Amino acid sequence: MRLIIVGTGVMAKNQLDHFTRIDGVEVVGAVDSDANRLAAFADKWGIEKRFLSLDEAIAWGDFDAASNVTPDRVHHPTTLALIAAGKHVFCEKPLAENYEKALEMTEAAERAGVINMVNLTYRNVAPLQRARQMVLAGEIGTVKHVEASYLQSWLVSKAWGDWRTESTWLWRLSTGHGSNGVLGDVGIHILDFAAYGAATDIDHVFARLKTFNKAPGGQIGEYMLDANDSFAMSVDFANGALGVIHASRWATGHLNELKLRIYGERGGLEVMHRTGESELRGCVGDDAESAVWKTIEVAPVPTNYERFVEAVATGVQPDPNFRHAANLQKVLDLAMVTERERKESKV
Ligand SMILES: NC(=O)c1ccc[n+]([C@@H]2O[C@H](COP(=O)([O-])OP(=O)(O)OC[C@H]3O[C@@H](n4cnc5c(N)ncnc54)[C@H](O)[C@@H]3O)[C@@H](O)[C@H]2O)c1
């Protein structure tokens, strides 16, 4: 597969660590509107073709698929252009800034018949996949209650760089730069983590969002720091279970941690994921009486990157596809409405 990378920032480096290890993948081009970032990236990965705009790359056209790693608000126009050129697209999350745009991208991809996938990275977490299998196999009985959290600390810690000076963080703090804050950024990950693990969909939502003042006048240069930093949400699932889901960028001591607890009528499961470290624990069968939790061994699973490459080779649409991400975007949009109206919404 001849692949191009559109957007050569922080996440693109992470993606290439994966794509370049997959047999049959040739990264043949890179696109970025920032010439310095483009040159540094293409030099590091030995990519010959370099373009300052996607239009130039499409005019050249000698590629099968693109990975779209641009900022959130750029996904919509660039993905539509790639689809119109008949290219398969692996798009970063969130698919778009709102449901309307996400749906337009979904319908365009489906009409064109191109392979479309969204990088909900935590599908790569083997314990999550095993937890879902156990739920589907009825090992904990009907799911009744779900707790999920996504904690980051980059507003407190400089471990990932300084949000006060680096554009990669500043655009994430500004609605004018297309960000829906922590809700849009990692909310989509944790909603997917919770609903996929519990093997049911979210059908009602009520959320509270908070934006804390972080700079004099709430502004740094061109960036108004008005996007939410923390959210807390209650949800109903289609199977009748109740859930609480929350996320924050202020969670000191947690660089990047996802946690999911699923309680069924006969047992409980807990999935924990931190960078480079994941675990599944269960309290099932007789252990429910003594409240003993045991680690459950899990086998590795293929990554989204590997599954996208396979989908392009076989022509079979992978999961999570654009339609799934658009449906999650609908929940995120409604969460923002509930914050304004202070009233639960049906998805
Ligand atoms: N799946 C995950 O776990 C995960 C993790 C981090 C980031 N992301 C997503 O990846 C995307 C990129 O995030 P990032 O942290 O790498 O951002 P970034 O700001 O570091 O990089 C984005 C790059 O896109 C370039 N760009 C902007 N407009 C462009 C255009 N029109 N054409 C070509 N290039 C353009 C920028 O110059 C920049 O180099 C975001 O949508 C983000 O939500 C996903």
Residue with the smallest CA separation from ligand 1 atom 40 is 71
Question: 121, 156, 179 — which closes off a domain?
Answer: 121
**DSSP 8-class letter at 187:** I
Q: Which atom of ligand 1 is nearest to the CA of 78?
A: 31
- For residues 141 and 51, state if they share a domain: no
Here the CATH number for the domain that contains residue 96 is 3.40.50.720
- For residues 165 and 192, state if they share a domain: yes
Question: 55, 88, 121 — which closes off a domain?
Answer: 121
Task: Say how far apart CA 6 and CA 34 lie, in whole Å.
Answer: 11
- For residues 143 and 249, state if they share a domain: yes
- For residues 158 and 105, state if they share a domain: no
- For residues 213 and 323, state if they share a domain: yes
Task: Say how far apart CA 206 and CA 152 lie, in whole Å.
Answer: 22
Residue 79 above 90 pLDDT? yes
Question: 121, 156, 190 — which closes off a domain?
Answer: 121
* Three-state DSSP class for residue 4: strand
The encoded tokens of residue 135 equal 């739920």
Report the domain count for the chain: 2
12: CB partners within 8 A, 6+ apart: 5, 30, 41, 67, 69
Residue with the smallest CA separation from ligand 1 atom 38 is 9
Helix-strand-coil percent breakdown of the chain, rounded to 5?
A: 40, 25, 35
* Mean pLDDT confidence for 120-126: 98
Q: Which atom of ligand 1 is nearest to the CA of 70?
A: 24
The whole-number pLDDT of residue 276 equals: 87
Q: Which atom of ligand 1 is nearest to the CA of 77?
A: 31
The whole-number pLDDT of residue 271 equals: 99
* Mean pLDDT confidence for 227-236: 98
The whole-number pLDDT of residue 345 equals: 84
- For residues 93 and 168, state if they share a domain: no
Q: Which atom of ligand 1 is nearest to the CA of 37?
A: 39
* Mean pLDDT confidence for 47-59: 98
- For residues 47 and 147, state if they share a domain: no
- For residues 243 and 137, state if they share a domain: yes
Residue 341 above 90 pLDDT? yes
Residue 38: band (very low, low, confident or very high) from pLDDT cuts 50, 70, 90: very high
The whole-number pLDDT of residue 293 equals: 98
Residue 241: band (very low, low, confident or very high) from pLDDT cuts 50, 70, 90: very high
Q: Mean pLDDT for the chain?
A: 97
- For residues 140 and 242, state if they share a domain: yes
Task: Say how far apart CA 148 and CA 197 lie, in whole Å.
Answer: 10
> How far apart are the CA of 69 and the centre of ligand 1, in A?
5
* Cβ atoms 191, 202 nearer than 8 A: yes
* Cβ atoms 301, 126 nearer than 8 A: yes
Helices 35-45 & 10-19 angle (0-180, nearest 10): 20
- Residue 327 lies in domain: 124-346
Residue 51 above 90 pLDDT? yes
- For residues 157 and 213, state if they share a domain: yes
* Pocket of ligand 1, beta carbon within 6 A: 6-12, 31-34, 37, 54, 69-72, 74, 92-93, 119, 121, 167-168, 185
